[in-house]
Amino acid sequence: MTAPGERVVYGAGPVRELVSRRPAAVRAVWVDPKRADRTTSDPIAAIVVAARAAGVRVEDRDRKTLDQAAGPDARHQGVIAWLGAFAYAELSALVPASGPALLLALDGVEDPRNLGAILRSAYLLGADGVVIPEHRAAQVTPLVAKASAGASELVPIAQVGNLVRALDELRELGLWRVAVAATPGAQPIETIDATMALCLVMGSEATGVRPLVAKNCDFHAVIPMADDRGAIGSFNVSVAASLALYEIQRRRRGR
């Protein structure tokens, strides 16, 4: 298991992204020696080559040691990257100096796999950052890093003690807050002015955006479903976040 103050990111995809984009953040890469010396057609061997080229220390470890470091039921694929403690960003640092901001704020997303999937979409769809609560919500863990395919290390994440106050601060920084929730009077998300600086607020898996949080948003928006599909309920929060981000970015690019 990890030592206090340290964490691991495991799996071929996440470790490859880390080594490629943030090699200075990687303290060491542990690899299964049975795969490390294969041809670079093997993704683990390719990671070894890239890590050494980037000046990252590579160490052979047997499978049992890798299993213990990654934790129970982790599918590490024979490669683990060691990092220090996760560094959350300041909320204000998520807002870019130029261009309209696009942030995600998560109101109590508890499933680490959902958080990982959201972070992956946030990175791939060009969000400037993600805001998560400190309490009663998933935090950034090795499981989240794996589910995000390494995006947890590439997209800025701010952790806040009170989401309502954080949304007030974002308003003062010039952002419009959009609760993505099927509340009475919610407008289709395609009618939101995509040219504005925006923070899209996504709710928890069980209850959606809390009423107090929704009350403090400037707009409420809904992702339209096909007629008569409401019996199933709603989109999974990670799917909804992807759709909402895509729609805003699509319209910003004039597609």
Q: In this structure, is residue 152 part of a structural domain? A: yes
User: What confidence tens digit (pLDDT) does each residue in 59-71 have?
Assistant: 999 999 999 988 8
Query: Using CA of residue 245, residue 248, residue 254, residue 255, what is the dihedral sign?
Result: positive
Condensed to tens digits (0 to 9), the pLDDT of residues 92-133 reads 999 999 889 999 999 999 999 999 999 999 999 999 999 999
Whether the Cβ atoms of residue 181 and residue 220 lie closer than 8 Å to each other: yes
**Does 69 fall in a domain?**
yes
Residue 1 has pLDDT above 50, yes or no: no
Residues 73 and 127 reside in one and the same domain? no
Structural domain span for residue 124 = 91-252
Give yes or no: residues 97 and 54 share one domain.
Answer: no
Burial annotation 111-131 (CB, 10 A radius, 16+ → b, else e): bbebbbbbbbbbbebebbbbb
Give the CATH number of the domain where residue 111 resides: 3.40.1280.10
96 shares its domain with 75: no
Average pLDDT over residues 191-205: 95
- Output DSSP code: residue 28: E
User: Which pair of structure tokens corresponds to residue 210?
Assistant: 């809390």
Listed in sequence order, the residues at least 6 apart from 89 whose beta carbon sits closer than 8 Å to its beta carbon are 129, 156, 157, 158
**Same-domain status, 12 and 134:** no
Asked, for residue 2, whether it belongs to a domain, the answer is no
pLDDT reported for residue 207: 87
Q: Which two tokens stand for residue 111?
A: 């499933």
pLDDT in tens, 140-156: 988 888 888 888 888 99
- Judgement on whether residues 232 and 107 belong to the same structural domain of the protein: yes
Q: Which of 21, 56, 83 is the last residue of a domain?
A: 83
Amino acid, res. 96: P
Core vs surface per residue 30-54: b (16+ CB within 10 A) or e: bbbeebbeeeeeebbbbbbebbeee
pLDDT above 90: percentage of residues in the chain: 67
pLDDT of residue 153: 86
Out of 56, 83, 110, pick the residue that ends a domain: 83
Shared-domain flag, residues 63 and 144: no
**Residues 137, 219 within the same domain:** yes
The CATH number of the domain where 32 resides is what?
3.30.1330.30
| d(C-alpha 161, C-alpha 86), whole Å | 17
Distance between CA 74 and CA 163 in Å, rounded?
A: 31
Extract the tokens encoding 84.
Answer: 């220090």
Query: Do 77 and 200 belong to one domain?
Result: no
pTM score of the predicted model? 0.83
Picking from 54, 83, 112, the residue at the C-terminal end of a domain is 83
Average confidence (pLDDT) over 193-201: 97
Is 254's pLDDT higher than 90? no
Residue 202 maps to a domain = yes
Mark whether 117 and 234 lie in a shared domain. yes
Same domain, yes or no: 79 and 173: no
Please tell me whether residues 140 and 248 are part of one structural domain.
yes
Q: Say yes or no: 212 and 136 in one domain.
A: yes
Q: Tally the domains of the chain.
A: 2
Determine the Cα–Cα distance for residues 246 and 34; give it in Å rounded to an integer: 41
What is the Cα–Cα distance from 97 to 103, expressed in whole angstroms?
14
